[in-house]
Amino acid sequence: MSLVDSHCHIDGDAFDADRDEVVQRAKGAGVAAMLNIGTGDPHSDDFRKAVAVAERYENVFASVGVHPHDAKLYDDAAEEHLLELARSSKVIAWGEIGLDFYYDHSPRDVQIEVFRRQIRTARRLELPIIIHSRDADDETIAILLEECSRKTENGKLKAENDGFRGGIMHCFGGTAAMATELMKLGFLISFAGNVTFKKADNLRDAARVVPLDKLLVETDCPFLTPIPLRGKRNEPAYVEHTARFLAEFYGVEFELLADRTTRNFLDFFRLELTAETQRQREV
Ligand SMILES: [Zn+2]
Ligand SMILES: [Zn+2]
């Protein structure tokens, strides 16, 4: 049995004191791979740290890309910096990018412009994209349809081949209709610990339309700790609770769901894991 945490933030300050133990605990819980999502100010060392953490541990990967909160900080110099970091073989995706109209930390028109720009950059690099969408699902889908797909002659939607490698809708919080649209565009749907929360019937309604071969699980740690650990700091080992919850929800064995979501992740990124026995390297 193995699991993958498709979206974590273990480079953050919350893990400075015990990062080695956190990674070891994850491995002990069967988490075979983690995707550490870089966030923060693209003019600082935040993203360098995110990539360094991935380079330090076996089977920990990284993504770079400016979060919609920080869209107002995106400019040519920021992009240059991220492009340089993306040369690391450990960087396998661009993101998290998207729209957040709940917090509105950056003006909406800037979020939209920077979202489009980063989709194009990711396509140029042939990197999959990691999408964050909050209170902006219609706008997010509209932009993805425009930027990542084309209509075929018979009017059907086709994911654009020109560099577009699909993506992951992280911490899915949308409707079943949105999940369906995204899957048509070549996206995987990733659920975080909030799918286990009592009041999350809307998330579970959406989960019903996601087949096992499009499904991922994530922690988004240090936030969104799944039940029964809600209230504690979240960490990659706890992805097991979200996977167990979803297995029960779908009526399948936990081991099956764990292995399928792991396979989805590895196939999507065309990854092979290195031997677990290798020692951590120094940064
Ligand atoms: Zn996010
Ligand atoms: Zn995140």
Q: How far apart are CA 55 and CA 7, in angstroms?
A: 16
Residue 160: per-residue pLDDT: 65
pLDDT at 279 over 60: no
Side chain identity at residue 61, one-letter code: F
Which ligand lies nearest the alpha carbon of 220? 2
The model's pTM is 0.94
Taking 60 as the threshold, does the pLDDT of residue 149 lie above it? yes
Residue-wise DSSP of 54-119: HHHSTTEEEEE---GGGGGG-SHHHHHHHHHHTTSTTEEEEEEEEEETTT-SS-HHHHHHHHHHHH
What is residue 153's predicted lDDT score, i.e. its pLDDT?
A: 74
- Strand blocks (E) in 140-232: 149-151, 157-159, 167-169, 187-191, 215-217
Q: List, as ranges, residues with CB under 5 A of the ion ligand 2.
A: 37, 220
Task: Kindly give the distance from the C-alpha atom of residue 219 to the centroid of ligand 2, in angstroms, as a whole number.
Answer: 9
Number of alpha carbons in the 13 Å side-chain half-sphere of residue 108? 9
Alpha helices (H) in the chain, listed in sequence order: 19-28, 46-56, 76-85, 108-125, 137-148, 176-184, 201-207, 239-250, 254-269
Taking only the tens place, the pLDDT of each residue in 193-211 is 999 999 999 999 999 999 9
Q: In whole angstroms, how large is the CA radius of gyration of the chain?
A: 18
User: In this structure, what DSSP letter does residue 153 have?
Assistant: T
Amino acid at 78: A
Q: Which ligand is nearest to the CA of 171?
A: 1
Pairing of strands 31-37, 129-134: unpaired
Question: For ligand 1, a single-atom ion, which residues have Cβ within 5 Å?
Answer: 96, 132
Residue 162 confidence (pLDDT) above 70: yes
Instruction: Please enumerate in sequence order all residues whose Cβ is within 8 A of that of 11, keeping only pairs 6 or more positions apart, or say none.
Output: 36, 38, 46, 49, 50, 52, 53
Q: How far is the CA of 219 from the centre of ligand 1 (A)?
A: 11
Dist. CA 93 → ligand 1 center (Å): 14
pLDDT (tens digit per residue) in 209-244: 999 999 999 999 999 999 999 999 999 999 999 999
Span from the CA of 67 to the centroid of ligand 1 (angstroms): 8
- Ligand minimally distant from the alpha carbon of residue 134: 1
How many A from CA of 152 to the centre of ligand 2? 34
Instruction: Please report, rounded to a whole number, the percentage of residues in the chain having pLDDT higher than 70.
Output: 95
What average pLDDT does the chain have? Answer: 94
Q: Which-ligand-closest: CA of 170? A: 1
CA distance 8 to 29: 15
171 CA from centroid of ligand 1 (Å):
7
CA 132 to ligand 1 centroid distance, Å: 5
